[in-house]
Chain A
Amino acid sequence: MSKTISRQPWANQSVAGNLDILIGSILPAAISVILAILTGMDFSLALLLIFLPLQLISVCTIAFKRQGARGIKDGLLILFVIFFSATVLVLLVSVLVSVVMQGSAAMSPHFIYQNNKYVSTTTSLEYGGVGHAILGTLIIVSMTTIAAVPLGIAMAVYLTQSNSKLTGVVRTVTQALSGLPSVVAGLFILSFMGFANFERSGFTGALALFPLMLPTVARVAEEALRLVPSDLRLAALALGAPNYRAFFQVILPAAKSGIITALLLGLARVVGETAPLILTINANNSTNLNPFSGGIATLPTFVYGFLGSLYDTSQARAWGAALVLLTLVGLLFGMARILGRAKKTSASKIKKAK
Chain B
Amino acid sequence: MPNRQVDIQPERRKLSVGPLSTGDKWFFRTTTIASNFAFILVALILVFLFAKAWPAIQQQGPAFIYGNTWDVESDPPVMQLGPMIWGSLQVAFLGILIATPMAISAAYAIVFMLPQRLAKIATTLIDLLAALPSVVIGLWGLLSFAPVAANWAKLLNQTLGFIPLFQITGDEPTYIDSPFIAGWIVAVMIVPIITSVTREIFSQTDSGLINGALALGGSRFSVFSRVILPTSAPGIVGGILLGLGRAIGETVAILYVLQLTFDINWYQILEPHGGAVASWILSRFGEATEKEFEGLMAAGLVIFIVTLIINGLANVIVSRAAGRNR
Contacts and interface: CB of A to CB of B under 8 A. Distances in A.
Do A and B truly interact?
yes
Interface of A: 1-6, 8, 10, 42, 44-45, 48, 67, 70-71, 73-74, 76-78, 80-85, 87-89, 91-92, 94-95, 98-99, 102, 151, 154-155, 157-159, 161-162, 164, 166-167, 170, 172-185, 187-188, 191-192, 194-195, 211, 214-215, 218, 242-245, 247, 268-269, 271-275, 278-279, 300, 303-304, 307, 315, 318-319, 322, 325-326, 329-330, 333, 337
A182 B224 CA distance: 37
A45 B297 CA distance: 45
Interface string B93-121: 00000000111111011111111100100
Contacts of B132: 95, 272, 326, 329
A188 B210 contact: no
Interface stretch (B3-11, B64-72, B78-86, B240-248): B240-248
A272 B135 contact: yes
Given A81-B108, A304-B252, A1 B131 contact: no
30 contacts: A5-B220, A8-B211, A42-B151, A71-B219, A73-B219, A73-B221, A77-B221, A81-B108, A89-B125, A91-B188, A94-B144, A95-B136, A151-B37, A158-B32, A164-B32, A173-B38, A180-B308, A183-B249, A183-B282, A187-B281, A191-B49, A191-B51, A243-B19, A272-B134, A275-B251, A279-B285, A304-B135, A307-B139, A307-B256, A333-B127
A174 B111 CA distance: 28
Contacts of A151: 34, 37
Contacts of B116: 2-3
Contact of B219 (A70, A87, A102, A218): A70
B26 A303 contact: no
Contact of B131 (A81, A211, A333): A333
B311 interface: yes
Nearest to B41: A211
Contact of B49 (A159, A166, A188, A244): A188
A184 B41 contact: no
Interface stretch (B165-173, B258-266, B299-307): B299-307
A77 B23 CA distance: 59
Given A81-B105, A91-B129, 13 more contacts: A2-B114, A6-B113, A6-B115, A82-B105, A88-B191, A94-B140, A183-B249, A184-B303, A187-B49, A188-B49, A242-B19, A272-B134, A326-B136
Contact of B23 (A2, A245, A322, A325): A245
Contacts of A194: 52
A155 B28 CA distance: 11
Contacts of A83: 105
Interface string B32-57: 11111111011011001101100000
A347 B183 CA distance: 42
Given A92-B125, A303-B135, A5 B214 contact: yes
Contacts of A95: 129, 132, 136-137, 140, 144, 188
A98 B144 contact: yes
A84 B101 contact: yes
B1 interface: no
B15 interface: no
A272 B133 contact: yes
Given A2-B111, A177-B38, A180-B307, A244 B128 contact: no
A318 B139 contact: yes
Nearest to A332: B131
B292 to A, nearest CB: 13
For the complex of A and B, list the 9 residue pairs with the smallest distance between their C-beta atoms, beginning with the closest: A272-B133, A181-B249, A154-B34, A84-B105, A179-B311, A244-B27, A73-B221, A158-B35, A187-B300
Contacts of A184: 45, 49, 249, 300, 303-304, 307
A178 B315 CA distance: 10
A285 B7 CA distance: 86
What does DSSP make chain B's interface, helix, strand, loop or mixed? helix
Interface string B216-242: 000111101000000000000000001
A327 to B, nearest CB: 11
Given A4-B207, A85-B106, A179-B249, A155 B27 contact: no
B49 to A, nearest CB: 6
B31 interface: yes
Interface of B: 19-21, 23-24, 26-28, 30-39, 41-42, 44-45, 48-49, 51-52, 101-106, 108-116, 119, 122, 124-129, 131-140, 142-145, 148, 151-152, 155, 188, 191, 195, 203, 207, 210-211, 214, 219-222, 224, 242, 245-246, 248-252, 256, 278, 281-282, 285, 296-297, 300, 303-304, 307-308, 310-312, 314-316, 319
Nearest to B249: A181
Nearest to B305: A184
B139 A181 contact: no
Contact of B51 (A3, A195, A214, A218): A195
A2 B117 CA distance: 10
Contacts of A84: 101-102, 104-106
Contact of A181 (B35, B36, B127, B304): B304
B133 A300 contact: yes
Nearest to B191: A88
A181 B245 CA distance: 8
Contact of A176 (B104, B127, B311): B311
A269 B133 CA distance: 8
A187 B140 contact: no
A330 B127 CA distance: 11
Contact of B303 (A162, A183, A244): A183
B136 A303 contact: yes
B139 A319 contact: yes
Contacts of B49: 184, 187-188, 191
